[in-house]
Protein backbone atom coordinates (compact mmCIF):
# COMPACT_ATOMS: atom_id res chain seq x y z
CA UNK A 1 0.00 0.00 0.00
CA UNK A 2 1.40 3.39 -1.01
CA UNK A 3 0.22 6.48 0.86
CA UNK A 4 -0.02 9.57 -1.33
CA UNK A 5 -0.95 13.22 -0.87
CA UNK A 6 -1.98 15.39 -3.82
CA UNK A 7 -1.09 19.07 -3.28
CA UNK A 8 -2.52 21.92 -5.36
CA UNK A 9 0.26 24.46 -5.99
CA UNK A 10 -1.40 25.89 -9.12
CA UNK A 11 -1.65 29.60 -9.79
CA UNK A 12 -5.07 30.15 -8.18
CA UNK A 13 -6.85 27.53 -10.27
CA UNK A 14 -8.75 24.51 -9.07
CA UNK A 15 -8.96 22.15 -12.06
CA UNK A 16 -10.67 18.82 -11.55
CA UNK A 17 -7.91 16.25 -11.23
CA UNK A 18 -8.46 12.74 -12.47
CA UNK A 19 -6.30 9.92 -11.19
CA UNK A 20 -6.25 6.84 -13.37
CA UNK A 21 -4.84 3.57 -12.18
CA UNK A 22 -2.67 2.28 -15.01
CA UNK A 23 -2.82 -1.32 -13.84
CA UNK A 24 -2.31 -3.28 -17.04
CA UNK A 25 -0.36 -3.26 -20.26
CA UNK A 26 -1.07 -4.07 -23.89
CA UNK A 27 -4.62 -2.72 -23.82
CA UNK A 28 -5.80 -5.78 -21.89
CA UNK A 29 -8.44 -3.74 -20.04
CA UNK A 30 -10.10 -0.36 -20.40
CA UNK A 31 -8.72 2.02 -17.74
CA UNK A 32 -11.36 3.64 -15.57
CA UNK A 33 -11.09 6.86 -13.56
CA UNK A 34 -10.04 5.36 -10.24
CA UNK A 35 -10.10 8.52 -8.18
CA UNK A 36 -11.36 12.00 -9.00
CA UNK A 37 -10.39 14.98 -6.86
CA UNK A 38 -12.55 18.05 -7.41
CA UNK A 39 -12.22 21.63 -6.17
CA UNK A 40 -8.95 21.11 -4.32
CA UNK A 41 -8.20 24.55 -2.82
CA UNK A 42 -5.03 26.47 -3.59
CA UNK A 43 -2.28 25.16 -1.27
CA UNK A 44 -4.65 22.39 -0.11
CA UNK A 45 -4.01 18.66 -0.26
CA UNK A 46 -5.99 15.43 -0.65
CA UNK A 47 -4.66 12.17 0.91
CA UNK A 48 -5.31 8.77 -0.70
CA UNK A 49 -3.83 5.27 -0.90
CA UNK A 50 -2.83 3.10 -3.85
CA UNK A 51 -3.02 -0.65 -3.28
CA UNK A 52 -0.51 -2.83 -5.09
CA UNK A 53 -2.75 -5.87 -4.48
CA UNK A 54 -5.53 -5.98 -7.09
CA UNK A 55 -8.91 -7.68 -6.55
CA UNK A 56 -10.79 -9.25 -9.41
CA UNK A 57 -14.62 -9.22 -9.56
CA UNK A 58 -16.90 -10.74 -12.16
CA UNK A 59 -20.27 -9.42 -13.30
CA UNK A 60 -22.96 -11.09 -15.37
CA UNK A 61 -25.36 -9.66 -17.95
CA UNK A 62 -27.95 -8.95 -15.25
CA UNK A 63 -25.62 -6.66 -13.30
CA UNK A 64 -24.81 -9.14 -10.52
CA UNK A 65 -21.30 -9.06 -9.06
CA UNK A 66 -19.36 -11.69 -7.12
CA UNK A 67 -17.61 -10.50 -3.95
CA UNK A 68 -14.21 -10.43 -5.61
CA UNK A 69 -11.02 -12.34 -5.06
CA UNK A 70 -7.50 -11.24 -4.40
CA UNK A 71 -5.28 -12.84 -6.99
CA UNK A 72 -1.54 -12.76 -6.70
CA UNK A 73 0.92 -12.89 -9.54
CA UNK A 74 1.04 -16.33 -11.05
CA UNK A 75 -2.60 -17.22 -10.27
CA UNK A 76 -5.45 -18.07 -12.62
CA UNK A 77 -9.15 -17.76 -11.81
CA UNK A 78 -11.02 -20.53 -13.68
CA UNK A 79 -14.77 -20.22 -14.23
CA UNK A 80 -16.62 -23.39 -15.12
CA UNK A 81 -20.24 -23.85 -16.26
CA UNK A 82 -21.50 -24.02 -12.66
CA UNK A 83 -19.77 -20.71 -11.75
CA UNK A 84 -17.28 -22.55 -9.64
CA UNK A 85 -14.12 -20.54 -9.24
CA UNK A 86 -10.78 -22.19 -8.69
CA UNK A 87 -7.28 -20.84 -8.41
CA UNK A 88 -4.61 -22.50 -10.51
CA UNK A 89 -0.98 -21.70 -11.37
CA UNK A 90 -0.20 -19.43 -14.32
CA UNK A 91 2.76 -17.42 -15.59
CA UNK A 92 4.50 -15.93 -12.53
CA UNK A 93 4.23 -12.34 -13.79
CA UNK A 94 0.53 -12.47 -14.74
CA UNK A 95 -2.95 -12.77 -13.34
CA UNK A 96 -5.25 -14.79 -15.60
CA UNK A 97 -8.99 -15.40 -15.90
CA UNK A 98 -10.06 -18.50 -17.81
CA UNK A 99 -13.77 -18.52 -18.72
CA UNK A 100 -14.65 -22.15 -19.51
CA UNK A 101 -18.39 -21.51 -19.28
CA UNK A 102 -20.91 -20.92 -22.06
CA UNK A 103 -21.79 -17.41 -20.88
CA UNK A 104 -19.89 -14.15 -20.92
CA UNK A 105 -18.80 -12.09 -17.93
CA UNK A 106 -17.48 -8.65 -17.18
CA UNK A 107 -14.06 -8.74 -15.53
CA UNK A 108 -13.46 -5.79 -13.15
CA UNK A 109 -10.10 -5.02 -11.56
CA UNK A 110 -10.24 -3.17 -8.23
CA UNK A 111 -7.54 -1.38 -6.25
CA UNK A 112 -8.30 0.00 -2.78
CA UNK A 113 -12.04 -0.65 -3.26
CA UNK A 114 -12.14 1.43 -6.46
CA UNK A 115 -12.68 -0.02 -9.94
CA UNK A 116 -9.62 0.64 -12.08
CA UNK A 117 -10.28 -1.45 -15.19
CA UNK A 118 -12.93 -3.37 -17.10
CA UNK A 119 -13.08 -5.92 -19.91
CA UNK A 120 -15.87 -8.04 -21.32
CA UNK A 121 -14.89 -11.70 -21.28
CA UNK A 122 -16.84 -13.90 -23.71
CA UNK A 123 -17.53 -17.63 -23.47
CA UNK A 124 -14.40 -19.78 -23.73
CA UNK A 125 -12.12 -16.73 -23.60
CA UNK A 126 -9.09 -16.04 -21.47
CA UNK A 127 -7.78 -12.76 -20.05
CA UNK A 128 -4.17 -12.22 -18.99
CA UNK A 129 -3.10 -9.19 -16.97
CA UNK A 130 0.32 -7.94 -15.97
CA UNK A 131 -0.47 -5.60 -13.05
CA UNK A 132 1.84 -2.66 -12.66
CA UNK A 133 2.24 -0.23 -9.80
CA UNK A 134 1.90 2.74 -12.13
CA UNK A 135 -0.30 5.73 -11.60
CA UNK A 136 -1.55 8.01 -14.37
CA UNK A 137 -2.60 11.56 -13.48
CA UNK A 138 -4.15 14.29 -15.58
CA UNK A 139 -6.32 17.36 -15.18
CA UNK A 140 -9.70 17.14 -16.87
CA UNK A 141 -11.82 19.70 -18.66
CA UNK A 142 -14.93 17.58 -18.20
CA UNK A 143 -15.64 14.30 -16.49
CA UNK A 144 -18.60 11.96 -15.99
CA UNK A 145 -18.60 8.85 -13.79
CA UNK A 146 -17.47 5.68 -15.63
CA UNK A 147 -16.33 7.70 -18.61
CA UNK A 148 -12.80 8.24 -19.83
CA UNK A 149 -11.97 11.92 -19.17
CA UNK A 150 -11.39 14.61 -21.74
CA UNK A 151 -7.83 15.45 -20.68
CA UNK A 152 -6.97 19.08 -20.06
CA UNK A 153 -3.25 18.28 -19.92
CA UNK A 154 -0.83 15.63 -21.08
CA UNK A 155 -1.09 12.62 -18.71
CA UNK A 156 1.78 12.06 -16.28
CA UNK A 157 2.85 8.55 -15.25
CA UNK A 158 4.55 7.61 -11.98
CA UNK A 159 5.89 4.19 -11.02
CA UNK A 160 5.06 3.45 -7.38
CA UNK A 161 7.18 0.30 -7.16
CA UNK A 162 9.13 0.34 -3.90
CA UNK A 163 7.51 3.57 -2.64
CA UNK A 164 5.81 3.61 0.77
CA UNK A 165 4.65 7.24 0.61
CA UNK A 166 5.09 10.37 -1.49
CA UNK A 167 3.64 13.78 -2.25
CA UNK A 168 2.27 14.63 -5.70
CA UNK A 169 2.48 18.33 -6.54
CA UNK A 170 0.18 19.90 -9.14
CA UNK A 171 1.77 23.08 -10.51
CA UNK A 172 1.23 25.42 -13.45
CA UNK A 173 -1.89 27.02 -14.84
CA UNK A 174 -2.63 30.68 -14.35
CA UNK A 175 -3.79 33.47 -16.63
CA UNK A 176 -1.97 35.46 -19.25
CA UNK A 177 0.80 34.82 -21.74
CA UNK A 178 3.27 33.68 -19.10
CA UNK A 179 1.07 30.88 -17.78
CA UNK A 180 2.33 27.33 -18.18
CA UNK A 181 0.56 24.01 -18.56
CA UNK A 182 -0.50 21.96 -15.56
CA UNK A 183 2.23 19.52 -14.46
CA UNK A 184 2.64 16.88 -11.76
CA UNK A 185 5.80 16.23 -9.73
CA UNK A 186 6.56 13.47 -7.24
CA UNK A 187 8.40 14.67 -4.10
CA UNK A 188 9.13 13.65 -0.49
CA UNK A 189 9.48 10.01 -1.53
CA UNK A 190 9.87 7.43 1.24
CA UNK A 191 10.99 4.02 -0.03
CA UNK A 192 9.86 0.64 1.38
pLDDT tens digits for range 9-39: 886 667 777 776 655 555 556 666 777 888 8
Same domain, 166 and 122: no
Residue range 78-136, pLDDT digits in tens: 888 655 555 655 566 777 888 888 888 888 877 666 666 778 889 989 888 777 778 88
Same domain, 46 and 59: no
Domain boundary among 94, 110, 129: 129
Q: Which domain holds residue 12?
A: 2-52+132-191
By the 8 A CB rule, do 192 and 163 touch?
yes
Q: What angle do CA 141, 136, 111 make, to 5 degrees?
A: 110
Same domain, 13 and 77: no
- pTM given for the model: 0.74
Same domain, 102 and 139: no
Q: What angle do CA 165, 169, 174 make, to 5 degrees?
A: 170
Same domain, 140 and 47: yes
Give the count of domains, the chain.
2
Amino acid sequence: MTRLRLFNYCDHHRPPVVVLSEAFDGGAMTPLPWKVVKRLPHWGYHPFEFSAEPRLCLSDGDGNFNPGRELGLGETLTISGQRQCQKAPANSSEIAVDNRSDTGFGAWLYRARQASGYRALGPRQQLRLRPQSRLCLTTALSWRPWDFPDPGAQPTYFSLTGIASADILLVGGGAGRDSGPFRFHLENIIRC
